[in-house]
Amino acid sequence: MSANRLRRHLVNLLTLLSLLLCMATAVLWARSYRGCDALVRPTAPGDRLCVTSEFGVVVVELEGPVRGAVLPGWEYFQSPLPRRWPVRAGLLGFEAYRGGVTHFVRLPPSALHGLALPHWCLVLAFAALPARWLVARRRQARSRRRSQAGLCAGCGYDLRASPAMCPECGQIPPESRRRGGFVG
């Protein structure tokens, strides 16, 4: 397989993957206003990586281990158990932060680093390759239509009087090239 073909296959594969990710993110986005998707992954003993999708933002949080022991005693919480987000609301949903996790048992808070990305920006990023593919396909279809109608594929100029080369933009029609008139 030539390098060019391999590259084209790779781009097509990435475009398909991008399209699937785009659709999955759109579904996640719609779900995020009715509930919370959460993926929790322990990284080291006590640490955890937590990815949540809620309120139109994807939040990636790395939570450090709990330092210290459970404190004996009685506690009255000022507020009912909150959902994790929104604790803060960054510009357009973007946010990078560090803080502490309050445990609703008698434990000292643990360190927290987080990054919030709005779903819309992920959908846009994943839509870029499929959009590029769609534009290229439409352009191909348009030049095929023009060629079949005897027009220049590049600019649509009528080539019946000058089939060898477009006098408007200088493009050489593929039929003329195949006849051997030009070596492109």
> Residue 30 or 149: which CB sits closer to Zn ion?
149
DSSP secondary structure string, 47-89? -EEEEEEETTEEEEEEEPPPPS-PPPS----SSPPPPSS-S--
* Residue 166 binding Zn ion, by CB under 5 A: yes
* Contacting residue, 97, 120, 133, 157, with Zn ion by CB under 5 A: 157
Query: Is 169 an interacting residue with respect to Zn ion (CB under 5 A)?
Result: yes
- Please report how close the Cβ of residue 177 comes to Zn ion at its closest, in angstroms: 14
Smallest gap from residue 146 Cβ to Zn ion (A): 9
CA–CA gap between residue 8 and residue 11 (Å, rounded): 5
Phi, psi of 96, deg, nearest 5? -125, 135
- With CB under 5 A as the contact rule, the residue among 27, 103, 155, 178 that binds Zn ion is 155
Element (H, E) at 27: helix 3-31
Near Zn ion by CB under 5 A, which window of 7-15, 63-71, 122-130, 150-158? Answer: 150-158
Cβ within 8 Å of residue 84, ≥6 positions away = 36, 52, 54, 59
Nearer to Zn ion among residue 5 and residue 160 (C-beta): 160
Q: What's the distance, Cα to Cα, between the start and end of the chain in Å?
A: 23
**168 near Zn ion, rule: CB under 5 A:** yes
Residue whose CB is less far from Zn ion, 96 or 155: 155
Interacting residues with Zn ion (CB under 5 A): 152, 154-155, 157, 166, 168-169, 171
